[in-house]
Structure 1
Amino acid sequence: MVLRLTCLASVAMAALVVGAPAFAQPPSPQPAPARPAEEDEDIILQADVVEEDRDSSVVTASGNVEIRVGDRTLKADRVVYDRVKQTVRAQGNVQIMDGQSQVQFADEIEADEDFRNGFATRFSSRLGPSGLVTASSAVRTDATINSLEQVVFTNCAMCEEKGYEPSWALRARRATLDQKEQMITYQDAVLEVKGVPILYVPWFAHPDPNSERRSGLLIPDVGISSKIGPFYEQPYLWVISPSEDLVISPMISTNVMPLLKLNWRKRFFSGFIQAEGSITHEQDFDSDGNKIGDNTWRSHLYAVGRFNINEDWQWGFGIERQTDDLYNRRYDIDGEDDLRGLVASQPRQLLSQVYVTGQEPDFYFEAGTFLFQGLRASDEDARIPEVLPALFVQKVFDFGANGQLATDFSAVGLLRDEPTLVTERPPLTLDTARATASAEWGSQYVVGPGFVVEPFASGRGDAYYLDDGGAAGSRTVSRFLGIAGATVSYPLISRQAGMDIIIEPIAMAAYGTPDANKLTNPNALPGDIDYGRTIIPNEDSLVFEADESNLFKPNAVSNYDLWEGGARAAVGVSASAQIGSDIELSTIVGRRWRESADPAFNELSNLREETSDYVASVRADVGRIVNVGARVRMDNELEISRLDLDASVNFWRVSGNARYFRVDRNAAGLQDEGLVWSGSFAVDDRWAAVVEQARNITQNKDIRLSLGIKYQDDCSFFMIAYERSGGRDRTLGPSESIRFTFALTGLGGFSDADTD
Structure 2
Amino acid sequence: MRLILAFAALLALGLPARAQQDRAVDAAILVADTVLVENDSRLIASGNVEALSDGTRLQASRVVYDQEAGLLSIEGPIRITDESGRVTILASAAELDEGFRNGLLAGARIVLDDQLQLAAVEARRVDGRYNALSRVAVTSCQICAGRAPLWSIRASRVVHDQLEQQIYFDDAQLRVLDVPVFYLPRLRVPDPTLERARGFLFPTLRSSTLLGFGIKIPYFIPIGDHQDVTLTPYLSSKTRTLEFRYRRAFVNGDLLVNGAVSRDTRETDEARGYLFAEGAFTLPRGFTLDFDAKLVTDAAYLNDYGITGTDRLDSTVTLTRARRDSLFQSALVHYQSLREAEDNDTQPTIVGDIRYQRRYFPALIGGEIRVDGIAHGHYRYSSTDIDTGDSDDVVDGRDLARLNAAISWRDRWTLPLGLRAGVSTHLWLDHFEIRQDATSPERVSAATPGVAVDLRWPFARGGAGGSRTLVEPVVQLGWVGGTRPENPNDESTRVEFDEANLLSLSRFPAADRREHGATLAAGLRMMHRAPAGWTAALTIGQVWRDEADEAFTRSSGLQGETSDTLIAGRFASTNGLSISARGLLDDTARISKAEARAAWSNDRIELGASYVLLVTDTDEERDEAQSEWTLDAAYQVTPNWLGSTEWRYDLAGQRLDRVGLGLQYRTRCVEVGLSATRRYASSANVEPSTDFDLSVALLGFSTGGPAKEIRPSCS
TM-score above 0.5: yes
2:709 matched to 1:735? no
Q: CA deviation at 1:298?
A: 2.3
Which residue identity is paired with 1:496? G
**Maintained 8 Å contact 2:555/2:593:** no
> Of the candidates 88, 99, 103, which is equivalent to residue 114 of structure 1?
99
2:450 matched to 1:450? no
Please name the residue that 1:391 is paired with: 354
Q: What secondary structure, in the 3-state scheme, does the structure 1 residue paired with 2:384 have?
A: helix
For residues 273 and 703 of structure 1, do their structure 2 counterparts lie closer, same or farther at Cα, with a shift above 3 Å needed?
A: same
In 2: Cα distance, 1:575 partner to 1:716 partner: 51
Once the two structures are superposed, residues 289-322 of structure 1 have per-residue CA deviations (whole angstroms, 9 ceiling, x without a partner) of xxx6x61232221112332222511223322111
> Of the candidates 73, 84, 88, which is equivalent to residue 89 of structure 1?
73
**Maintained 8 Å contact 2:557/2:586:** no
> Of the candidates 653, 657, 679, which is equivalent to residue 703 of structure 1?
657
**Maintained 8 Å contact 1:36/1:71:** no
Q: CA deviation at 1:355?
A: 2.7
In 2: Cα distance, 1:729 partner to 1:310 partner: 48
Q: TM-score, normalised by structure 1?
A: 0.84
Q: CA deviation at 1:193?
A: 5.0
Structure 1: runs of 5+ lacking an equivalent:
9-34, 286-291, 338-346, 519-534, 751-756
2:403 matched to 1:435? yes
For residues 60 and 383 of structure 1, do their structure 2 counterparts lie closer, same or farther at Cα, with a shift above 3 Å needed?
A: same
Q: CA deviation at 1:540?
A: 2.2
In 2: Cα distance, 1:391 partner to 1:37 partner: 55
| Aligned 1:130-149 pairs, distance under 5 A | 130-149=115-134
Q: CA deviation at 1:146?
A: 0.9
Please name the residue that 1:367 is paired with: 330
Please name the residue that 1:630 is paired with: 581
2:626 matched to 1:672? yes
Please name the residue that 1:205 is paired with: 188
Please name the residue that 1:604 is paired with: 555
Q: CA deviation at 1:732?
A: 4.3
> Of the candidates 596, 609, 623, which is equivalent to residue 658 of structure 1?
609
Q: CA deviation at 1:181?
A: 0.9
Structure 1 runs (4+) greater than 6 angstroms displaced = none
Which residue identity is paired with 2:65? Y
Once the two structures are superposed, residues 35-84 of structure 1 have per-residue CA deviations (whole angstroms, 9 ceiling, x without a partner) of 999658645422121011117x2111012212345664422111111111
> Of the candidates 224, 227, 251, which is equivalent to residue 207 of structure 2?
224
Please name the residue that 1:532 is paired with: none
Q: What secondary structure, in the 3-state scheme, does the structure 1 residue paired with 2:269 have?
A: strand
Which residue identity is paired with 2:5? L
In 1: Cα distance, 2:9 partner to 2:539 partner: 81
For residues 202 and 543 of structure 1, do their structure 2 counterparts lie closer, same or farther at Cα, with a shift above 3 Å needed?
A: farther
Q: What secondary structure, in the 3-state scheme, does the structure 2 residue paired with 1:329 have?
A: helix
For residues 449 and 69 of structure 1, do their structure 2 counterparts lie closer, same or farther at Cα, with a shift above 3 Å needed?
A: closer
In 1: Cα distance, 2:662 partner to 2:379 partner: 48
**Maintained 8 Å contact 2:447/2:482:** no
In 2: Cα distance, 1:491 partner to 1:6 partner: 76
> Of the candidates 46, 53, 60, which is equivalent to residue 38 of structure 2?
53
Structure 1 vs Structure 2 CA RMSD? 2.8
Range 166-175 or range 563-572, more displaced: 166-175
For residues 564 and 197 of structure 1, do their structure 2 counterparts lie closer, same or farther at Cα, with a shift above 3 Å needed?
A: farther
| Aligned 1:226-625 pairs, distance under 5 A | 226-256=209-239, 258-282=240-264, 285=266, 295-310=269-284, 312-332=286-306, 334=307, 336=308, 347-387=310-350, 389-399=352-362, 402-420=366-384, 422-424=386-388, 426=393, 428=395, 430-468=398-436, 471=438, 475-498=442-465, 499-516=467-484, 518=485, 535-625=486-576
In 2: Cα distance, 1:632 partner to 1:40 partner: 72
For residues 473 and 493 of structure 1, do their structure 2 counterparts lie closer, same or farther at Cα, with a shift above 3 Å needed?
A: closer
In 1: Cα distance, 2:527 partner to 2:82 partner: 60
Over the matched positions of the two proteins, sequence identity in percent amounts to: 26
**Maintained 8 Å contact 1:457/1:484:** yes
Q: What secondary structure, in the 3-state scheme, does the structure 2 residue paired with 1:547 have?
A: coil
Q: What secondary structure, in the 3-state scheme, does the structure 1 residue paired with 2:561 have?
A: coil
In 1: Cα distance, 2:235 partner to 2:636 partner: 38
In 1: Cα distance, 2:169 partner to 2:57 partner: 28
**Maintained 8 Å contact 1:727/1:733:** yes
Greater relative CO, 1 or 2 (CA 8 Å, sep 6+) = 2
Range 165-174 or range 723-732, more displaced: 165-174
In 1: Cα distance, 2:98 partner to 2:52 partner: 10
**Maintained 8 Å contact 2:434/2:443:** yes
Once the two structures are superposed, residues 709-737 of structure 1 have per-residue CA deviations (whole angstroms, 9 ceiling, x without a partner) of 33234443333333321111316432233
Please name the residue that 1:3 is paired with: 5
Which residue identity is paired with 2:284? N
Q: CA deviation at 1:7?
A: 6.9
Q: What secondary structure, in the 3-state scheme, does the structure 1 residue paired with 2:514 have?
A: coil
2:140 matched to 1:173? no
Q: What secondary structure, in the 3-state scheme, does the structure 1 residue paired with 2:345 have?
A: helix
Q: What secondary structure, in the 3-state scheme, does the structure 1 residue paired with 2:339 have?
A: coil
Once the two structures are superposed, residues 529-566 of structure 1 have per-residue CA deviations (whole angstroms, 9 ceiling, x without a partner) of xxxxxx31222222221122321223222421111111
Q: What secondary structure, in the 3-state scheme, does the structure 1 residue paired with 2:278 have?
A: strand
Q: What secondary structure, in the 3-state scheme, does the structure 1 residue paired with 2:189 have?
A: strand
Q: What secondary structure, in the 3-state scheme, does the structure 2 residue paired with 1:381 have?
A: coil
For residues 385 and 148 of structure 1, do their structure 2 counterparts lie closer, same or farther at Cα, with a shift above 3 Å needed?
A: same
In 1: Cα distance, 2:590 partner to 2:606 partner: 33
Please name the residue that 2:13 is paired with: none
Q: CA deviation at 1:132?
A: 3.2
In 1: Cα distance, 2:583 partner to 2:637 partner: 37
Q: What secondary structure, in the 3-state scheme, does the structure 1 residue paired with 2:500 have?
A: helix
Please name the residue that 1:20 is paired with: none
In 1: Cα distance, 2:147 partner to 2:583 partner: 55
Q: What secondary structure, in the 3-state scheme, does the structure 2 residue paired with 1:704 have?
A: strand
In 2: Cα distance, 1:86 partner to 1:42 partner: 18
In 1: Cα distance, 2:382 partner to 2:341 partner: 17
**Maintained 8 Å contact 2:78/2:91:** yes
Range 499-508 or range 685-694, more displaced: 685-694
Which residue identity is paired with 1:467? R
For residues 92 and 280 of structure 1, do their structure 2 counterparts lie closer, same or farther at Cα, with a shift above 3 Å needed?
A: same
Once the two structures are superposed, residues 330-383 of structure 1 have per-residue CA deviations (whole angstroms, 9 ceiling, x without a partner) of 233x2x57xxxxxxxxx3111223332222222211212211111111120111
Q: CA deviation at 1:248?
A: 2.2
Once the two structures are superposed, residues 149-184 of structure 1 have per-residue CA deviations (whole angstroms, 9 ceiling, x without a partner) of 23333345x47x655766544343322111111111
In 2: Cα distance, 1:43 partner to 1:652 partner: 47
Which residue identity is paired with 1:221? T
Q: What secondary structure, in the 3-state scheme, does the structure 2 residue paired with 1:383 have?
A: coil
Which residue identity is paired with 2:73? R
For residues 465 and 577 of structure 1, do their structure 2 counterparts lie closer, same or farther at Cα, with a shift above 3 Å needed?
A: same
**Maintained 8 Å contact 1:37/1:71:** no
Q: CA deviation at 1:384?
A: 1.7
In 1: Cα distance, 2:48 partner to 2:510 partner: 77
For residues 193 and 579 of structure 1, do their structure 2 counterparts lie closer, same or farther at Cα, with a shift above 3 Å needed?
A: farther
In 1: Cα distance, 2:450 partner to 2:108 partner: 81
Q: What secondary structure, in the 3-state scheme, does the structure 1 residue paired with 2:555 have?
A: helix
**Maintained 8 Å contact 2:441/2:487:** no
Structure 2: runs of 5+ lacking an equivalent:
11-19, 706-715
Which residue identity is paired with 2:274? H
Q: How many residues align?
A: 683
In 2: Cα distance, 1:460 partner to 1:192 partner: 75
| Aligned 1:186-205 pairs, distance under 5 A | 186-193=169-176, 198-205=181-188
Please name the residue that 1:14 is paired with: none
